[in-house]
Amino acid sequence: MAFFQEPPRLGNQFDDDPMLPSWIARHIGGDEVARELHALGDIAVEYYGKQLADRLNDPVLTQWDAWGNRIDKIEVSPLWREAEGLAAKHGMVAAGYETTLGAKARTHQFAIVHVLSPSLDVYSCPLAMTDGAVRTLLGSGNQALIDRYVPLLTSRDPSVMWTSGQWMTERTGGSDVSQSETVARKDGDQWRLYGTKWFTSATTAQMALTLARPEGNPDGSRGLALFLVELRDANGRLRNIAVNRLKDKLGTRKVPTAELTLDGAPATLVGSAGDGVRAITPMLSVTRTWNAVCAVSGMRRALALAGDYARRRKAFGALLVDKPLHADTLAGIEAEYAGAFCLAFKSVQLLGALEHGGTDAEERLARALVPIAKLTTGKQAVAVASEAIEACGGAGYIEDTGLPRLLADAQVLPIWEGTTNVLSLDTLRALGKGGALEAIIAEVDANVAAATDPGLAKPGEAARAAVRHAAAWVAEAMSQPDRLEAGARRFAMTLGRSLELALLIGHAQWCLDHGHGPRTAAAARRFLLNGVDQINDASLEDSKLLA
């Protein structure tokens, strides 16, 4: 009988995760959350099947009806329609704001996101922005807007829950938003916005937070202000907003990302009539944390499929998993996942701590950790997805296996919400506020000091040495702006990888002490071999010649 390869399959996506169960046991404890996550782990498997069946359904924009009326209707995929209800019901945003678990609410929420989101075709995008909008509104002090919108955005009732977009990018740029051309004009008691938004993700949201320049304000980012736009009127018609087209993207194809023209769209000022970039920074911190968590959950899904494939696929007389080179390759990317997991969930923990008081040291650490976690995990997600689909051989390159999508979707993670380079510069800006580098070194040291197992000593020394090398480099480069900027990515990556290794060591010791086995310690040792310290002073002259 002819041979047919069995496709890779998923097991329960909580139980099979090598990091999440022990992290939850350590940082939340009890059985209740673990039971909830186990149930979601089965739902994730069910939706993975639906995802494969839904593969070819991209969102569709219909601009005109049969009678010539402009309607700009966006039809999302069937899975996205289901994801909307699922996300509300399981509290993918709401759980972060519920009070039962106090500061642990964020760990609870992002554990839910971690288990479910890889099966929901990047529905995480509107959820991230919704969460960011809640945090931004709560920080704005605008009680009328908080009272009206926060209950909608944090509802667990699918018939009530709203999502929010975040429109920052214009044709002038997505990184340097200071050049934004959208103008806000006063019209009686309200404002109206005029301009073009070039990338608006998930345009099916009910509202959006956006930047515009009130007429008469100065150029540059200080002249921008933060506005809230309700997209549709009571009849569901867009309010002076035209959808020019949907973007034709490499990945995240289910996300209806659009170009919009605002032609007098009614808007409400959120805070003051200026300083909009500063006003929207809570949004950036939250969506960048989502980015880090979705990077690790994407890695987890890629590894789950590549690992299962290795246990089903035979070549040269043995299962792939029993081939030393294949096992070595998988081990390398499993270690990347484990380190990335710790850093992303440390950011989550800090977010929760800050929302419940938090110390000055936690605040300094969080400000630097968010860009570091986003940029480090974004790059890891692409590398891991690429290696994981290669581990499935030719099947990994064939669209209807569903595997190539893992890489296409991962590639957005280092781009949106601030590219790797922009976030490297943001890391420098965060450290410039003072105290953040010391907080990072203290975090590395505390985790390393907690490890008593001899097998963790060498990785511990390496983490301490790498973070100190980075600190020494930045102290020296500080007075040379070009050298500092050119090395900013290697510097930020070294901080990220030192933190990942140290957090992994801290968690590995906890796992050894609490009956969760030696696997995390093995991940720490392997992570070290993948490389931690990236500091070097590449020649500026050579870079000019090469670029």
Member of 11, 174, 358, 455 binding ligand MFK (CB under 6 A): 174
By CB under 6 A, the count of residues binding ligand MFK is 28
Of 287 and 401, the one with the shorter C-beta distance to ligand MFK is 287
Binding part of the chain for ligand MFK, among 124-132, 309-317, 319-327, 446-454 by CB under 6 A, reads 124-132
DSSP annotation string for 159-224? TT---EEEE--BTTBSS-GGG---EEEEETTEEEEEEEEEEES-TTSSEEEEEEEETTPPSSGGG-
The token pair at 467 is 């973070």
Q: How many angstroms separate the CA atoms of 493 and 378, rounded?
A: 11
Q: Kind and range of the H or E element at 346?
A: helix 324-355
Site for ligand MFK in 404-443 (CB under 6 A): 416-418, 422, 426, 429
To ligand MFK, the closest distance from the beta carbon of 278 in angstroms equals 4
Q: Is 166 in the site for ligand MFK (CB under 6 A)?
A: yes
CA angle 296, 19, 400 (to 5 degrees): 45
Find where tokens 């047919």 sit.
4
The token pair at 178 is 């200071």
To ligand MFK, the closest distance from the beta carbon of 406 in angstroms equals 14
Please enumerate in sequence order all residues whose Cβ is within 8 A of that of 238, keeping only pairs 6 or more positions apart, or say none: 72, 231, 232
To ligand MFK, the closest distance from the beta carbon of 298 in angstroms equals 9
Q: Which of 521, 540, 530, 525 is nearest to 496 (CA)?
A: 530
Site for ligand MFK in 128-147 (CB under 6 A): 128-129
Q: Is 536 in the site for ligand MFK (CB under 6 A)?
A: no
Of 174 and 435, the one with the shorter C-beta distance to ligand MFK is 174
Q: Sign (positive/negative) of CA torsion 167, 171, 172, 174?
A: positive
Member of 203, 291, 401, 509 binding ligand MFK (CB under 6 A): 291
In contact, 132 and 97? CB cutoff 8 Å: no
Q: Is 198 in the site for ligand MFK (CB under 6 A)?
A: no
How far is the CA of 536 from the CAs of 109, 374, 540, in angstroms?
38, 22, 12
To ligand MFK, the closest distance from the beta carbon of 291 in angstroms equals 4
Query: Which residue has the CB atom at the shortest distance from ligand MFK?
Result: 221
Q: Which of 330, 333, 257 is nearest to 296 (CA)?
A: 333
Contact string 199-218 vs ligand MFK (x = CB under 6 A): --x-----------------
Of 382 and 448, the one with the shorter C-beta distance to ligand MFK is 382
Binding part of the chain for ligand MFK, among 102-110, 174-182, 376-384, 498-506 by CB under 6 A, reads 174-182
Binding site for ligand MFK (CB under 6 A): 124-125, 128-129, 166, 168-169, 174-175, 177-178, 201, 221, 277-278, 281, 284-285, 287, 290-291, 294, 416-418, 422, 426, 429
